[in-house]
């Protein structure tokens, strides 16, 4: 799939949406007593904001995040 540039206004909106989601998810996991790294939250928020699935071998970082689609993977491609 080829990605088109969105332009400066759309880029700003995307960054703002990702930031809001990152803050909301971060608050939820802190209340649960399972804080995550800033990088994990940014990855999760970006995936949620763009309706994508996180594929990671680190299931403890993503599996129970609210609103984040997660699939366990090794990170290695074959073929």
Domain ranges of the chain: 10-72
78: alpha, beta or left, given left = phi > 0 and alpha = psi -120 to 50?
Answer: beta
- To the question of pTM greater than 0.85 for the whole model, the response is no
**What Cα–Cα distance (Å) separates residue 3 from each residue in 45, 49, 56?**
19, 16, 22
pLDDT per residue as tens digits for the range 50-71: 888 999 998 888 888 888 899 9
- The CATH number of domain 10-72 is 3.40.228.10: no
Position 48 confidence tier, pLDDT thresholds 50, 70, 90: confident
């Amino acid at each position: 799939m080829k990605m088109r540039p969105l332009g400066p206004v759309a880029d700003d909106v995307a960054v703002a949406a990702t930031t809001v989601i990152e803050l909301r998810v971060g608050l939820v996991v802190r209340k649960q007593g399972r804080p995550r790294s800033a990088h994990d939250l940014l990855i999760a928020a970006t995936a949620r904001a763009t309706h994508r699935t996180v594929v990671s071998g680190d299931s403890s970082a993503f599996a129970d995040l609210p609103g984040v689609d997660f699939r366990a993977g090794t990170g290695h491609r074959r073929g």
